[in-house]
Amino acid sequence: MSQVVRFLKGSDGSKIVLPLTIAYFLIGFVEIIAESNADISLIKLTKPLLMPLLIFIYWYSSKKKDLLFVLVLLSVWCANVCLISKTNSLIVAGAICILINRILTLYAVARIIKFPGYMPMLLGSLPFLFLYLYIVNLTYNELREGFILFVLQGIFLILFGGFCLGNYIMKSNLPNTFLLISTLLFTAAQFLLSMKLLYEPYAIFQPVSILFFVIGQYLLCRFVLFEERRKRRLLK
């Protein structure tokens, strides 16, 4: 139990980090329940709180704040807020925010870790490419006007997945494990949301995708914090 507490608190964190982390996962749990019950009022209350809490967790844990990573989390927040609505204009705005988030995330991670090389990245991209081609083949008719945005999101997710998996192949340490698991969870969440288009009566896809999203965002944050701490140790 003490190891779990230390993990949630983080070695760089102030005393406020642990309560913020507990609040983040508690709100995430409530959000999953709200999605399971299609409770729009509760979704509107909880979903916009997730990324601000994670921003505070990062801000109070980090000794050297990376504003680009804060922008990454803010783009996720914008997407979440837009996608709560069912209006077409806000759904398109949310999809654009997701695309911006994919680009910013790839750039932010590429600044932190070394390029793994073309061959590891190519090999790492293949599973994500095949999965995305499968998703596009299944959901082409349902995507309609959103097809181009979906494909653009897919391109950057494939590049990001290849980068992270290639990096893990070259160096399988704890931070890179967090990064890879985070990427796999994001990909799985995208897959489940795509399946929701095909099997709309099944309510399980949305809450499970939120579960993957909540854990994936947290692990991405921990990866960034681990790498910041490692670089500080190297500079000493």
| Sequence spans of domains, the chain | 2-235
pLDDT, tens digit, 9 for 90 and up, residues 90-105: 888 988 999 999 999 9
Cα 168 to chain centroid, rounded: 17
The model's pLDDT over 169-209, given as tens digits with 9 standing for 90+, comes to 988 889 999 999 999 999 999 888 877 766 665 568 889 99
Contact 198, 139 (CB under 8 A): yes
Tell me which residue of 64, 32, 67 sits closest to 47, measured CA to CA: 32
Residues in the chain: 236
How far the first Cα of the chain sits from its last, in Å, is: 32
pLDDT below 50 — which residues of the chain?
A: 2-5
How far apart (Å, rounded) are the C-alpha atoms in residues 73 and 28? 15
Angle at 192 between CA 213 and CA 55, to 5 degrees: 10
Tell me the C-alpha distance between 139 and 153, whole Å: 14
Q: What global pTM score does this model have?
A: 0.89
Average predicted confidence (pLDDT) for the chain: 87
Looking at residue 2, what is its pLDDT?
47
